[in-house]
Amino acid sequence: MNSAAPGGVGVGVGRTALLVAAARAIETHRPDALAHDPLAEHFVRAATVSADWPVHPDQVPDGAADPLWGRLGRYFGLRTRALDDHLLRSVRAGVRQVVLLGAGLDARAFRLDWPPGCTVHEIDTEQVLAFKREVLDVIGARPTAARRTVPADLRGDWADALVRAGFDRTVPTAWLAEGLLLYLPADAERRLVARVHALSARGSTLAYELKEVVAESAAIRTAPVYLAARQRLGIDLPTLFAAGRRPDTVGELTRRGWTVAVHSPFDFTAVHGRGPLPERDDALAANRWVFAERARPVPNPAGCAAVG
């Protein structure tokens, strides 16, 4: 799904995961930060491929005008904030089980203010989880919720491994697939969504990211955001996105009884008063953030929960 870091510490960790971590580190140090992740810079510095990447706004000479660490970095900061808020809304509504699908270098189990009794499951490859464990052990990080790591390939059958790790399919779950479905082949996306539904008790929530177009135009593929990532970091983002027609995951969730809301990132720029704004031939314009909930059963007049 992601390009591997070549050689040294962090082998097997995708460059895109490190890109997001660097963006979060920079966001953390902004005076008007949308999200705070004090662990992110440690991941960036520990991987050979990213050791000299910026982790502070002062290390970005062009600031907000920089297409990579300014505009794309702020996009990742805004996405982090929107998805943080989704998870915190879920647990404030009573959910106590969280699953991060393709957790990457996500530090939410350590940096969010989880209520008592929360368990955060992190699913990713063994290589990613091992690198993450090494870095967290060195700095002595301690999670703010019960944390369980689940080594598994999300393109395959990961549900059994999750259940063996203690996942309880009888209670509501807050699912998060941040920056994941963009990279999955269509069939793998369909299987993943079907498994999430099968494992979700009523009251579960799901948030994920999608692109609304099948193939981006030549002008968008050479947009400054993509060009800077390719030239400066060796990350050719358009080639990493799964090719071919994408599944109608929003429609499938709706048919299965989920309530689904689809938003543009620019909706959240308006909400928070900061973040990327639309521009011509915009590499971010087709991105959508999806928030879904499987409704809780409604008690019937006799006081018994409705079945179904």
Residue 244's pLDDT is 82
Residue 307's pLDDT is 33
Residue 6's pLDDT is 31
Sequence-distant (≥ 6) Cβ neighbours of residue 96 within 8 angstroms: 115, 117, 118, 119, 171, 172
Query: Which residue do the tokens 């999430």 mark?
Result: 196
Strand 119-124's sheet: what is its strand order? 146-151, 119-124, 97-101, 173-177, 205-211, 287-294, 258-263
Query: Which H or E run contains 116?
Result: none
Q: pLDDT of the chain along its 308 residues, tens only?
A: 333 333 344 445 789 999 999 999 999 999 999 999 999 999 999 999 999 999 999 999 999 999 999 999 999 999 999 999 999 999 999 999 999 999 999 999 999 999 999 999 999 999 999 999 999 999 999 999 999 999 999 998 899 999 999 999 999 999 999 999 999 999 999 999 999 999 999 999 999 999 887 667 889 989 999 999 999 999 999 999 988 888 999 999 999 999 999 999 999 999 999 999 999 999 999 999 999 999 887 666 554 443 33
Residue 214's pLDDT is 63
Nearest to 23, CA basis, from 276, 291, 209: 276
The amino acid sitting at 100 is L
Residue 178's pLDDT is 97
Residue 308's pLDDT is 33
DSSP one-letter code for 59: G
Residue 298's pLDDT is 65
Residue 304's pLDDT is 40
Nearest to 226, CA basis, from 241, 238, 214, 209: 238
The token pair that represents 306 in the structure block: 């409705």
Residue 302's pLDDT is 56
The strand pairing partners of 175, in sequence order, are 99, 206
Q: Please compute Rg for the chain using Cα positions.
A: 19
Residue 243's pLDDT is 83
Sequence-distant (≥ 6) Cβ neighbours of residue 237 within 8 angstroms: 16, 225, 226, 229, 230, 283
Residue 107's pLDDT is 97
The token pair that represents 85 in the structure block: 């808020």
CA angle, 167 then 173 then 178, to 5°: 100
Handedness of CA 20, 24, 27, 29 (dihedral sign): negative
pTM to 2 decimal places: 0.92
Q: 205: number of CA atoms within 13 Å, CB side?
A: 22
Q: Which domains does the chain carry? A: 70-294 (3.40.50.150)
